Amino acid sequence: MDWGTLQAVLGGVNKHSTSIGKIWLTVLFIFRIMILVVAAERVWGDEQQDFVCNTLQPGCRNVCYDHFFPISHIRLWALQLIFVSTPALLVAMHVAYRRHEKKRRFRNGEKIDIEELKNEKIHIRGPLWWTYTSSIFFRIVFEAVFMYVFYYMYDGYQMPRLVKCNAWPCPNIVDCFVSRPTEKTTFTIFMLAVSGICMMLNLAELCYLVIKICMKESRKTT
Amino acid sequence: MDWGALHTILGGVNKHSTSIGKIWLTVLFIFRIMILVVAAERVWGDEQDDFICNTLQPGCKNVCYDHFFPISHIRLWALQLIFVSTPALLVAMHVAYRRHEKKRQFRKGDQKCEYKDIEEIRKQRFRIEGSLWWTYTSSIFFRLVFEAVFMYAFYFMYDGFRMPRLMKCNAWPCPNTVDCFVSRPTEKTVFTIFMIAVSSICILLNVAELCYLLTKFFLRRSKKTGNSKHHPNHENKEETKQNEMNELISDSCQNTVIGFSS
């Protein structure tokens, strides 16, 4: 059970998305999950091993590392990607429920072709529109929350080279040096930028859906 | 044999679950197993290497680590997830047994058998009724018991759900009392609380499913006592027609839900 399985699960949702939704999914998989797995995890791989403090005091390094990195960037990104992908499952559940309802109508004797039922592309209308729109809204909220959490936890998006630590049992103030700070800053800014792009795609999709429904309503009234 | 294989096995059970059961399965795979594999295992990866004690005494670190972490969180979670997933296999076994019985009837050439060929028997989706209801309900009950037992085991073994930064150890051969420092305690606390929260959500889903099944059972019983006096023959014909419809429909609509396929 890993990122590949998530891709298989979300791939099914792709069929019922708008074009912007499909682009969003591609950006998510290629520029975020793939970058996380093939690059970012290696950069952060030695984060604790190579976090070096200028002291011989045992335990000081552990405590300082824990103080400055309560949750590692990699874990925060993994959680962010999982939370951001999950609202799409609401849409998948709604589509499955609609198909189940159509099956029930078929059972009750209405004439519906079964092949058509299996391959039907369900249009985003009615209650499905509400489910889809709320899933996009939740995606945007989760993205924003995680971006804020990053900013708050690490005082910005830059990884410092040196952190000064005075947590017990460190004697007085101890200089601690972070492993690969520049590379980490580069990847943090990259992931932030792609996160921003995903948020904009979600906003565009939301606007598209809202405009579509307003136009449909105005056509109905005229 | 890894989590992917468990996913394949349980995906087959998904077909015979209620909607709440399907949601439970999704939560299990995405918020528990996936989080365990992609995040939690890395956090606990260096737990013994970076468990540091303030002493030069050889063997003291090993003994202290063993004293404070009899079973690692990761292993406990893996055991919990396996035990919690396993009752669903009872349901899978029951369904397989029923299919076997129907195949036997078909092979004997029983005229009562309403199936046209073995493929239809294989693909039929069974409704949760009769003895299958009892199997399904007991599987949910066992899931609840296992979840509760493991949550209690966690609480008991680690005196709560928080990971301390510092542990004072005086097990032999450590001289007097030695300070030992845990690796990444805050990150570990965050993930422990996350896993406990998702575990509780799963318990709530299981309780909801149990209530739903009990309610359905009692409603069906009250409908039967109401209808049975009026239309006994008509009901049988309707059931046969319904079974045929079920086969045709389940043939075509097997893989609609959330990508979990049999």
CATH number of the domain within which B35 lies = 1.20.1440.80
Spell out which residues of chain A touch residue B33, defining contact as CB-CB under 8 Å. Answer: 1
Distance separating alpha carbons of residues B76 and B84, to the nearest angstrom:
12
- The pLDDT, as a whole number, for residue A200 is 96
Distance separating alpha carbons of residues A156 and A185, to the nearest angstrom:
10
- The pLDDT, as a whole number, for residue B122 is 62
Distance separating alpha carbons of residues B43 and B163, to the nearest angstrom:
13
* ipTM of predicted complex: 0.80
Structural domain boundaries, residue B25: 19-47+75-106+127-166+189-220
Mean pLDDT of A148-154: 93
B59: left (phi over 0), alpha (psi -120 to 50) or beta: left
Comparing CB atoms, the residue among A71, A92, A97 nearest residue B190 is A71
Spell out which residues of chain A touch residue B258, defining contact as CB-CB under 8 Å. Answer: 9, 12, 89, 92-93, 96
One-letter amino acid at A56 equals: L
- At A180-189, the pLDDT tens digits run 999 999 999 9
Does position B261 have pLDDT exceeding 60, yes or no?
Answer: no
| Choice among A97-106, A123-132, B172-181 with the minimum mean pLDDT | A97-106
Domain membership flag for residue A33? yes
- At B80-118, the pLDDT tens digits run 999 999 888 888 888 888 888 888 888 887 655 555 666
Spell out which residues of chain A touch residue B181, defining contact as CB-CB under 8 Å. Answer: 58-59, 62-63, 169
Angle between helices B87-108 and B73-85 (to 10 degrees): 30
Number of domains in chain B: 1
Number of domains in chain A: 1
Distance separating alpha carbons of residues B44 and B190, to the nearest angstrom:
12
Q: Which ranges of chain A does DSSP label H, i.e. alpha helix? A: 3-14, 19-27, 34-35, 41-43, 60-68, 73-85, 87-107, 114-119, 127-153, 181-221
Mean pLDDT of B169-194: 93
Domain membership flag for residue A99? yes
Would the CA dihedral through B182, B187, B188, B189 be positive or negative? positive
Distance from the Cα of A200 to chain B's closest Cα (Å) equals: 26
- The pLDDT, as a whole number, for residue A116 is 63
- At A65-89, the pLDDT tens digits run 999 999 999 999 999 999 999 998 8
If you search the block for the tokens 């309560």, which residue do you land on? A70
Distance separating alpha carbons of residues B247 and B250, to the nearest angstrom:
5
Show the CA angle centred on residue A117, arms to residues A113 and A118, nearest 5°.
Answer: 125
More confident residue, A99 or A31: A31
The reply to whether residue A5 touches residue B7, judged by beta carbons under 8 angstroms, is yes
More confident residue, B215 or A118: B215
Show the CA angle centred on residue A197, arms to residues A192 and A200, nearest 5°.
Answer: 125
CATH number of the domain within which A88 lies = 1.20.1440.80
A125: left (phi over 0), alpha (psi -120 to 50) or beta: beta
Mean pLDDT of B25-37: 91
Structural domain boundaries, residue A95: 3-45+72-149+190-219
